[in-house]
Structure 1
Amino acid sequence: MAEKRFPATPKKRQEARKKGQILKSQELTSAVMLLAIVGLLKMWLPNVFQRLANIFTYTANFSGDWNLQSLWKVVIDISWQCLLILAPVFAAALVVAFAVNILQTGPVFITEPMIPKFSRMNPVEGAKRMFGLKALVNLVKSLFKVLVIGYFLIDIIRKNMDVFPALQGAEVGQSVIFLSGLLFEMAWKIALAFLVIAFADFLYQWWDYEKNLRMSQEEIKEEYKQTEGDPLIKGQIKKRQRMMAMRRMMEDLKQADVVITNPTHYAVALKYDTAKYPAPYVVAKGQNEIALRIRAVAEENNIVIMENKPLARSLYSQVELGQVVPGELYKAVAEVLAFVFRLNKKRRSYSA
């Protein structure tokens, strides 16, 4: 198998994107979500405590008869209060997850990964996924997460070992405030640590993504053939196009007024048609073998051939087929055409 050492082409990247191969770190999404939820809960917690107190007060002071209908009403009321508590958290998590994914991948809608493939059920491929490099990286990330959580948990307990016994004599509200402060301190540290792990995971995902997209020289050549066409066929097409262009040029040459030569290396045929252009224009040009063919066609069609080396070179290098002569050459061309028209007039008078 050829070594894949070349970076992916834009076409390969586009095809990979259509197949669902997109650079994305799920760890980054999870870490930013955790950080956002912790920050939201820090601001939302007083409201949560207030709503929880209202729930306890509501259930404790319920004065109705306890039957199926009243029980159902209590359940509905408590569920609504719980929804009001949890809705902002879920909404924030959803918005953050969507935003982080969009920032990583851009807007994309892919259906191909959802198509069932029997190759995914192959036990050999499954074993490769279980014991491959990606599985090892995921295991290392999970171990790091467990170590991070364990470290910060032990650190919080160790720093407050003398405080915990004193909580037995404190009021419930004070204990809740103190413990929630410790939990938020630990949550902030864990969220920031997870963000560092996510950044490392993003770098790994980027490396793995680029590695999987690498191409061999043969793949690049094959892609070029598919995009630009087979060089042999393309060469044949260009050859036919040149032949057709040559035939058209030789047909147009028959209507020329004069052919200016070098005398053998260059040949440029001019036509002056005021109904088409306000100045003389080039109907044919060529050098070497094509110049000789232009001379031959001109002789066959009784077109005047004039030798003017500097003018022939200038017209060949500066004027393309179908273009009028530039202003700096117009005087020299006008003198040539004036001579040709006088010569043609004499020819017609002699023939008459």
Structure 2
Amino acid sequence: MSEQDLDRNESATPYKLEKAKEKGQVAKSSDVISSVVFMAAAVYLVSQGGDAIFEQFKLDQALLRSLGSSTSSTSFFWPLISAAIGSLLILVMPFFVLICLSAVLANILQTGFVFSPSSLSIDLTRINPIAGFKKILSIRTLFDTAKAVIKLSLLSVVAFYALSALSSQFYGIANLSPTEYVRLLISDAASLSIKIASLLIFIAFLDWIFTRREFSKKMRMSKREIKDEHKQRDGDPRVKARIRELQREALKKSKALQQTKNADVVLTNPTHVAVALRYEHGKMESPQIVAKGAGHLAFAIRQIASKHNIPVVQSPSLARRLFKELDVEQEIPPQMFAEVARIVVWVFAMRDKNKKMSSA
């Protein structure tokens, strides 16, 4: 492998990134997802936490009153349990929906919509011990370890100062009513959660930047890989040039067949080669080839000549020379002019004779 293949210093092309996305290889930070989910839970606790807990208390009170005033028959308990479960689901469902939507939104904001069935297939390389050992000693693992230590330290510091700021309230808790005590507890928990969530979002932002840079570095390409990709997508330039050449030849043959009806004479081999000639006296210095072909194309030229009453003259040696040495729309050179001129003069003479006979 050349040195050029090892130097992956070029940014990944959009085509490679799209193919990697189809395989499920995208730049995604798990810390972004966890921090967004935690922030959503903290916001829900601030806005709806107190109401949800008091609704739960009311549900418990109603359930206890119903049990105390009822008999122990089975027909009474099942409707009661069903109603309790339904009320509980209505109570907690908004919270779970918010958590799920937050996780989905955090994924979409990072990678967009990704559907990769290939990532669900069995990959035996994932259980390769050598690859696993290399992964343990990778830069990403060291970064994750350092990040976990720093994250734990920062969270401990934030929690300590947040609780220290709330310590003055602890002396007056004994004088509060149960309702006020619950509200204070929810307010303090929400305040602490918002501060921790803010720190997690900051850490997740740094991790997201590192993840994108690492993924971009992993997707880098060498100049040779970029050239190979262009060849794969657009085709080999030599193959494309050959295709264009064949297309031009096919177009030229098609035009030549259309011009056969304007020819004055067709020279044949007699079956394998056909050359159609045209000459306008006073306008052309020498006859011109308007069409030529071999095999099926020669047969098509003879068919067109027969359809338009164009004389077909068998001259194997001359037809082969004209077919090999001259191209379409090329005039007859001086070294061949005498031989071609005899045939053209004879054709014109026969044409004039036929016209006189038809007029007579």
* CA distance in structure 2 between the aligned counterparts of 1:141 and 1:51, rounded to whole angstroms: 40
Out of 42, 45, 55, the position equivalent to 1:38 is: 42
Kindly state the Cα deviation for residue 167 of structure 1 after the two structures are TM-superposed: 1.8
Matched AA of 1:32: V
* CA distance in structure 1 between the aligned counterparts of 2:328 and 2:257, rounded to whole angstroms: 16
* CA distance in structure 2 between the aligned counterparts of 1:26 and 1:70, rounded to whole angstroms: 48
The answer to which of 51-60 and 35-44 deviates more is 51-60
Equivalent in the alignment of 1:294: 330
Kindly state the Cα deviation for residue 139 of structure 1 after the two structures are TM-superposed: 2.4
Kindly state the Cα deviation for residue 222 of structure 1 after the two structures are TM-superposed: 1.9
Contact in 1 for aligned 2:256/2:328 (Cα 8 Å): no
Q: What is the CA deviation profile of residues 189-229 of structure 1, one whole-angstrom value per residue up to 9, with x for unaligned ones?
A: 11122122222222222212222221112212222222222
1:17 corresponds to 2:21: yes
Change (3 A) 1:150 1:70: farther
The answer to which of 113-122 and 236-245 deviates more is 236-245
Contact in 2 for aligned 1:23/1:105 (Cα 8 Å): yes
Matched AA of 2:45: L
Equivalent in the alignment of 1:160: 166
Kindly state the Cα deviation for residue 242 of structure 1 after the two structures are TM-superposed: 3.4
Equivalent in the alignment of 1:227: 233
* CA distance in structure 1 between the aligned counterparts of 2:282 and 2:69, rounded to whole angstroms: 115
The TM-score normalised by the length of structure 1 is 0.68
* CA distance in structure 2 between the aligned counterparts of 1:259 and 1:7, rounded to whole angstroms: 66
Q: Matched residue pairs, number?
A: 288
Secondary structure at the counterpart of residue 64 of structure 1:
coil
Secondary structure at the counterpart of residue 294 of structure 1:
coil
Out of 89, 111, 122, the position equivalent to 2:128 is: 122
Equivalent in the alignment of 1:52: 56
Kindly state the Cα deviation for residue 77 of structure 1 after the two structures are TM-superposed: 4.7
Out of 200, 203, 210, the position equivalent to 2:209 is: 203
Kindly state the Cα deviation for residue 124 of structure 1 after the two structures are TM-superposed: 1.2
* CA distance in structure 2 between the aligned counterparts of 1:213 and 1:258, rounded to whole angstroms: 67
Contact in 2 for aligned 1:33/1:97 (Cα 8 Å): yes
Matched AA of 1:103: L
Secondary structure at the counterpart of residue 219 of structure 1:
helix
Equivalent in the alignment of 2:222: 216
Equivalent in the alignment of 2:88: 82
Gapped regions of structure 1 (runs ≥ 5): 270-288, 303-343
Structure showing greater radius of gyration is 2
Kindly state the Cα deviation for residue 80 of structure 1 after the two structures are TM-superposed: 3.6
Equivalent in the alignment of 1:132: 138
Q: What is the CA deviation profile of residues 135-158 of structure 1, one whole-angstrom value per residue up to 9, with x for unaligned ones?
A: 223223333432333122211222
Change (3 A) 1:107 1:159: closer
Equivalent in the alignment of 1:333: none
1:192 corresponds to 2:198: yes
* CA distance in structure 2 between the aligned counterparts of 1:124 and 1:131, rounded to whole angstroms: 11
* CA distance in structure 2 between the aligned counterparts of 1:260 and 1:104, rounded to whole angstroms: 78
The answer to which of 140-149 and 193-202 deviates more is 140-149
1:5 corresponds to 2:9: yes
1:105 corresponds to 2:111: yes
Kindly state the Cα deviation for residue 111 of structure 1 after the two structures are TM-superposed: 0.7
Contact in 1 for aligned 2:155/2:199 (Cα 8 Å): no
Contact in 2 for aligned 1:19/1:110 (Cα 8 Å): yes
The answer to which of 7-16 and 135-144 deviates more is 135-144
Identity of aligned residues (%): 23
Change (3 A) 1:103 1:290: farther
The TM-score normalised by the length of structure 2 is 0.66
